[in-house]
Homo-oligomer: A and B are copies of this chain.
Amino acid sequence: MELGLVGLGKMGGNMRERIRRAGHTVVGYDRNADIADVDSLKALVDSLPTPRVVWVMVPAGAPTASTIDDLAELLSPGDVVVDGGNSRWTDDIAHAKKLAAKSIGFVDCGVSGGVWGLENGYALMCGGDAADVAKAKPVFDALKPEGDSGYVHAGKVGAGHFAKMVHNGIEYAMMQAFAEGWELLEASDEVTDVREVFRSWQEGTVIRSWLLDLAVRALDDDEHLDKLKGYAQDSGEGRWTVEAAIDLAVPLPAITASLFARFASRQDDSPSMKMVAALRNQFGGHAVESTK
């Protein structure tokens, strides 16, 4: 089939390559003319047979919203837009509504895979009407990993990004699980070879997993992680996961603890612990001296 692909950055560029390897035609557009196949969004739309399928792979938020606004003007009834970026699922519902007013379909698609995706395939979670999903199905098949899993039509519009968001929330807590275990082993006097403990877990244990494999790779590179600072960004999906949980009154203690650990990792000093120190100072023995 022929696909229009908007956004050819690290992710989009690799995805174009993987789709082409599967034998499909991809017309890619990017603001950076050096990597684009056409020089405008209009040229991209004009080059595709109808019903068109246009995959949007640009940053979430304003860039995605404005791309969808532009496509709403350029596309025809019966075409389908797939948002494969990291949009918040609540945005999907607004985007679908805008396109539906012009009889253009919308599918949201959460994509996992990072730099490994070109070779191993991308896990895809999509949401939308079955008819719209069907139009893009050959692309999903090209992008997904080999085997029975790696792709799901999760439900209504928004379900794809919702599922991807929850995937990332789970990922946060799994990373935190390994991180806490590693810190505890490193603190032990008895355990003298923590790296090899991690390596041993790769077979036969309950916790064997790709993240464990990555942890072993990291420890092979830097046994005590001395080269790294204990500083972790968060990408947004962790926050949205907790916010969705609050909306739905679902308790998420481990995932939220993982998010808060990242927030704390970025503070030079903890304001809240200043207040704890201040209160200890007030009622403890040094109170009298320091408040005079």
Q: Does A66 contact B (CB under 8 A)?
A: no
Q: Which of B152, B185, B203, B211 contacts A123 (CB 8 A)?
A: B203
Q: Are A230 and B283 in contact (CB under 8 A)?
A: no
Residues in B neighbouring A196, C-beta threshold 8 A: 152-154
Residues in B neighbouring A282, C-beta threshold 8 A: 214-215, 217-218
Give the interface segment out of A32-40, A55-63, A80-88, A141-149.
A141-149
Q: What CA separation (Å) do A154 and B196 show in the bound complex?
A: 7
Q: Report which residue of A122, A149, A205, A285 has the largest number of chain B beta carbons within 10 angstroms of its beta carbon.
A: A205
Q: Which of B144, B203, B230 contacts A269 (CB 8 A)?
A: B230
Question: Nearest-CB distance from A15 to chain B (Å)?
Answer: 13
Residues in B neighbouring A252, C-beta threshold 8 A: 180, 184, 260
Please report which residues of chain A, range 130-176, place their CB below 8 angstroms from some CB of chain B when the two chains form the complex: 144-159, 162-163, 166-176
Q: What CA separation (Å) do A80 and B192 show in the bound complex?
A: 21
Q: Which of B190, B257, B264, B290 contacts A162 (CB 8 A)?
A: B190
Give the interface segment out of A23-31, A43-51, A220-228.
A220-228
With A174-B177, A177-B173, A211-B206 as contacts: A218 and B260 at CB distance below 8 Å: no
Q: Are A271 and B150 in contact (CB under 8 A)?
A: no
With A115-B284, A206-B283 as contacts: A166 and B184 at CB distance below 8 Å: yes
Question: Nearest-CB distance from A291 to chain B (Å)?
Answer: 5
Residues in B neighbouring A265, C-beta threshold 8 A: 270, 273, 276-277
Q: Are A192 and B230 in contact (CB under 8 A)?
A: no
Q: Does A186 contact B (CB under 8 A)?
A: yes
Q: What CA separation (Å) do A169 and B156 show in the bound complex?
A: 35
Q: Are B192 and A229 in contact (CB under 8 A)?
A: no
Q: Which of B151, B192, B221 contacts A154 (CB 8 A)?
A: B192
One complex includes copies of this chain to the number of: 4
With A190-B127, A261-B251, A271-B225 as contacts: A277 and B231 at CB distance below 8 Å: yes
Q: Are A274 and B229 in contact (CB under 8 A)?
A: yes
Q: Which of B199, B257, B272 contacts A230 (CB 8 A)?
A: B272
With A207-B171, A239-B246, A287-B115 as contacts: A197 and B276 at CB distance below 8 Å: no
Q: Which of B148, B204, B287 contacts A145 (CB 8 A)?
A: B204
Q: Does A97 contact B (CB under 8 A)?
A: no
Question: Nearest-CB distance from A197 to chain B (Å)?
Answer: 5
Please report which residues of chain A, range 232-252, place their CB below 8 angstroms from some CB of chain B when the two chains form the complex: 232-233, 239, 241-246, 248-252
* Residues of chain A having any CB pair with chain B under 8 Å: 10, 89, 112-117, 120-125, 127, 144-159, 162-163, 166-193, 196-197, 199-212, 214-215, 217-219, 221-222, 225, 228-233, 239, 241-246, 248-266, 269-285, 287-288, 290-291
